[in-house]
């Protein structure tokens, strides 16, 4: 996976399809992010660069129970590709 602004945007769009809001805020996050599950909000440290933001969002995505039926075909393909790449690591 390439760590570009375009990849970050695609990942953010995937979260939007899952009805999650992503916010970039400052705070004392031990892992670099925080999930507010009952409100479907993912808060990521605003001081992270693109690579760290993508890694945090992928980590969050792996921890969520994702129903592929609610995603578009393109998002399903991206999700499968990202899950394979994270499983390989």
Residue-by-residue DSSP string for 20-43: -EEEEE-S--SSSEEEEGGGTEEE
Question: What are the structural domains, with CATH classification, of the chain?
Answer: 5-88 (3.30.2010)
- Rounded-to-10 torsion of CA 19, 59, 69, 74: 90
Residue spans of beta strands (DSSP E) within the chain:
21-25, 33-36, 41-45
Beta bridge partners of 25: 45
Q: What is the pTM of this model?
A: 0.85
What are 27-67's pLDDT values in tens digits?
A: 777 777 888 878 999 999 999 999 999 999 999 988 888 88
pLDDT at 28: 79
């Amino acid at each position: 996976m390439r760590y570009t602004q375009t990849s970050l945007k695609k990942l953010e769009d995937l979260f939007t399809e899952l009805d999650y809001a992503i916010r970039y805020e400052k705070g004392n996050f031990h892992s670099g992010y925080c999930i507010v599950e009952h409100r479907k909000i993912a808060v990521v440290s605003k001081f992270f660069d693109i690579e760290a933001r993508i890694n945090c969002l992928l980590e969050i995505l792996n921890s969520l129970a994702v129903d592929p039926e609610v995603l578009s075909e393109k998002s399903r393909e991206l999700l499968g590709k990202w899950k394979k790449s994270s499983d390989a690591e």
